[in-house]
Structure 1
Amino acid sequence: MPRPSASETWEASVTEHVPYVVVGAGAMGLATTWQLARRGRRVVALERFERGHTRGASHGATRNFNNAYGAAHYLDLLTLARAEWDELSRATGEPLLRLHGLVTHGDDAVVADVHRALVARGERAEVLAAHEAARRWSGMRFTDDVLFTPDAGVVRASAALDALEHGARSHGADVRFGHRVVSLDERADGVALTVDVDGERHDLVAETVVVTSGAWTPGILPASFPLPRLTVTEESPAHFTPTAPDARWPSFNHLLSPQRYPANVYGMPTPGEGVKVGFHLVGPVVDPDARSFRPVPAQAAQLRDYVAEWFPGLDADSAEPISCTYTSTDSQDFLLDRRGRIVVGAGFSGHGFKFTPAVGSVLADLATDDGFRAAEPFRLP
């Protein structure tokens, strides 16, 4: 009987077998890892970059905790997210939500529809006239009805990543940075992964894999996986300096007609950095490994003009640009589904962070129960 070669013996000896592997340890991956670990599951999370990197969509101090949704599947997910953010805060001792309120304006019909949807679910929401909103928030200008939701605000994004990792590790999860998955292949006995760690190969076999790799998702999933189109764009919001230090700032959504500005606007106060303002989903399509990390000059000029027109309390010439990626589906709905032994969470389309721990819960349900299904709009076609 022929003896195995040295390389065959080495590969057999280093293959690691684990029940659950999460590929990608940004916000959604860490949330999934936390949710699996707190359920008593043995889970390994693999992240190709270093902790706190700025190449994806999870970095930064704040994200909008925006509850101005009218669709039931998002409101259901938001209810779960609020409960899970609170649980994570209790478990780690880290306050993660700052609820200073949210204003949504620019389209009276949308304002009325979202107001009805929130009130029907028992959420606090009121519609203000433009002059009343301007009195409350003197740094902003309003010309239409304004929806105010006091139980909204921001998620402390960087703190949330730390809390999710700490929470996952406290339940026994193994989170590995600098581990790049170079191949993923579903087999009858599990999912085989090849991982590069500083130029060395490591092999793992998992019973179930959850892929939460953001812009890199299409390059990780097998070619046979029925992934719909995901478009990666580089977005460039900016922080602007307030001119009145005592002004009150809510988070905000401004629904704009396309005649003058390219898209709707979102933003929020970020202590120590100013007020974040950005157009939603206007950036150029990019390769996530070949980004400029610089704003498109024409779009930066439009953002400056927008701030000058609508924010009397901000210095329009003080922009400090931020670079991040959106990975978007055509519908801008999330993708949360399973095929075989592979679960995917992707396509968060620039509005996913507020839902992070709830997305982690749904993905953990999909990973541990092959009969579970997410809400219909989140499913694979």
Structure 2
Amino acid sequence: MTPEFDLAVVGAGLMGAATAWAATRRGLSVAVLEQFDAGHDRGSSHGSARIVRRAYPDPVYLRMTGRAMELWRELETDAGTRLLRIVGGIDHGRLRDPERLAAALATAAVPHELLPPEEAARRWPGLRFDGPVLFHHEAGTVDAARAVAAFLERAGARGADIRHHTAVRRIIPNQEAGIRLETAEGATLTTRRAVVAAGAWAADLLGGLVPLPELTVSQQQIFHFPRRDPAAEPWPVVVHKDALNTYSLPGGRDGGPHDARKIAEHNAGGPTTAGTRDGKVDPAARDRITAYVRDWLPGLVPEPFNEATCLYTSTANDDFVLDRAGPLVVCSPCSGHGAKFAPLIGEMATDLALGGAPPEPRFTLAAHTAQAGNTGAAQWPV
């Protein structure tokens, strides 16, 4: 039996949608199967603002940020829409090690500045600092929801068969047809290769098929705080690691008419599953972030006007999972810092589906198995 498609993509969040875009740009026939509505908020790819930035101390991720930025620009050109908002990026805090980040950026020839706290406070009134501050220009936000829509629209324009409300319930490797996918409605689809980019649902789909590492699903809380001076220039995105591990960024459409600030703790949510999350914001998290705003962001009104939850799907060491097992590609990069890499992840997943080597040894299934229990590899997400 001849397969119906060259490639099926299971999941149409940022990573799955990016894979469809990459694969159709190479002329592959592609089907995309997504269990929910277009633009749903059940996973990790909704909302109007995610951080993009170059500042990583790890040369693997630092190198990847450069190519990802190029591909975001290619998507903007292809789709004829603006998705990136470049406002610069700040890293500070006694546990963030701005000097180490500055050294990494210098090695990669990424423009940056290392500032004393007094100079940073003068440059960005309304933010408070108590140690060295790293600033680099090539950082900002990407509109996640519109990026997903752009990836899928351009993939569809190149012939992709995009099916929402189509939940894959079973993946069956088949020597003759490559892979057979069975949906909740009882339909089947055959494909030469499949990329599973199912985020928090990955373990349910892939269990027993590949040696998947342990993936921890957690529910994170985000909050939006209004600026005291809404007419002021937008602040850069900020990653601050001290008593709390926080990030903040311009909120975009979710920030209301005055572009309120989106703020959250990184990886502070409790464990859950894709099927049992309650979507409720933890009052203790709200109190911690409100107190943080009072202490460190005096340019904001310390009263959140908007709040939401999302899911992280994380490995033990925060490294991505990008590998192939036979005709099946596992694409679970998440770990709270995957969004900025989405178009590059799509390219890498497509390379794997076409028989290419894993993009990075650390991302392979075997490496995650060998590293089980070792949580020291990445640890610099957001």
Fold in common (TM above 0.5): yes
Q: Which amino acid aligns with 2:225?
A: F
Q: Which moved more, 1:281-290 or 1:47-56?
A: 281-290
Secondary structure of the residue aligned to 2:269 is coil
**Is the CA contact (8 Å cut-off) linking 1:124 and 1:150 kept in structure 2?**
yes
Which of 139, 143, 148 is equivalent to 1:156?
143
**Is the CA contact (8 Å cut-off) linking 1:233 and 1:285 kept in structure 2?**
yes
**Is the CA contact (8 Å cut-off) linking 2:121 and 2:128 kept in structure 1?**
yes
Which of 247, 252, 262 is equivalent to 1:266?
247
Q: Which moved more, 1:42-51 or 1:114-123?
A: 114-123
* 1:43 is the counterpart of 2:26: no
Q: Which consecutive unaligned segments of at least 5 residues does structure 2 have?
A: 367-382
Distance 1:147 1:252 in 2: 10
Aligned to 1:72: 59
**Is the CA contact (8 Å cut-off) linking 1:28 and 1:212 kept in structure 2?**
yes
**Is the CA contact (8 Å cut-off) linking 1:234 and 1:324 kept in structure 2?**
yes
Distance 1:78 1:133 in 2: 25
Listed as ranges, the matches of 1:245-264 within 5 Å are 245-248=230-233, 249-257=235-243, 261=244, 264=245
Q: What's the CA shift string for 1:139-179, capped at 9, x where partnerless?
A: 11100100001111111212211111111112111111000
How many Å apart are 1:269 and its aligned residue?
Answer: 0.8
How many Å apart are 1:122 and its aligned residue?
Answer: 1.5
Distance 1:374 1:304 in 2: 41
Distance 1:187 1:109 in 2: 48
Q: Which moved more, 1:270-279 or 1:357-366?
A: 270-279
Listed as ranges, the matches of 1:258-337 within 5 Å are 261=244, 264-272=245-253, 273=255, 274-337=260-323
Which of 344, 357, 360 is equivalent to 2:343?
357
Distance 2:305 2:54 in 1: 27
How many Å apart are 1:318 and its aligned residue?
Answer: 2.6
Aligned to 2:94: 107
Which of 211, 214, 235 is equivalent to 2:196?
211
How many Å apart are 1:66 and its aligned residue?
Answer: 2.2
State the TM-score, normalizing by the size of structure 1: 0.91
Q: What's the CA shift string for 1:93-117, capped at 9, x where partnerless?
A: 1111111101000037721111111
How many Å apart are 1:29 and its aligned residue?
Answer: 0.1
How many Å apart are 1:319 and its aligned residue?
Answer: 4.2
Aligned to 1:130: 117
Q: What's the CA shift string for 1:308-358, capped at 9, x where partnerless?
A: 111101111234212100000000111111111110111411111010000
Q: What's the CA shift string for 1:230-269, capped at 9, x where partnerless?
A: 0000000111111122333110100114xxx3xx101101
How many Å apart are 1:204 and its aligned residue?
Answer: 1.3
* 1:117 is the counterpart of 2:104: yes
Q: Which consecutive unaligned segments of at least 5 residues does structure 1 have?
A: 1-11
Secondary structure of the residue aligned to 1:81 is helix
CA shift in 2, pair 1:289/1:109, >3 Å: closer
CA shift in 2, pair 1:109/1:237, >3 Å: closer
Which of 127, 144, 163 is equivalent to 1:140?
127
Q: Which amino acid aligns with 1:88?
A: L
TM-align CA RMSD:
1.6
**Is the CA contact (8 Å cut-off) linking 2:218 and 2:311 kept in structure 1?**
yes
**Is the CA contact (8 Å cut-off) linking 2:11 and 2:34 kept in structure 1?**
yes
Q: Which amino acid aligns with 2:321?
A: L
**Is the CA contact (8 Å cut-off) linking 1:239 and 1:322 kept in structure 2?**
no
Runs of 4+ in structure 1 over 4 Å off: none
* 1:192 is the counterpart of 2:180: yes
How many Å apart are 1:378 and its aligned residue?
Answer: 1.3
Aligned to 2:379: none
Q: Which amino acid aligns with 2:157?
A: S
State the TM-score, normalizing by the size of structure 2: 0.91
Aligned to 1:9: none
Distance 2:283 2:55 in 1: 31
Distance 2:336 2:206 in 1: 21
Aligned to 2:373: none
Distance 1:280 1:36 in 2: 32
Q: What's the CA shift string for 1:258-283, capped at 9, x where partnerless?
A: xxx3xx10110124511001000010
* 1:18 is the counterpart of 2:5: yes
Aligned pairs, how many? 359
**Is the CA contact (8 Å cut-off) linking 1:20 and 1:44 kept in structure 2?**
yes
Give the fraction of aligned pairs with identical amino acids, expressed as a percent.
Answer: 37
Aligned to 1:90: 77
Which of 338, 344, 349 is equivalent to 2:324?
338
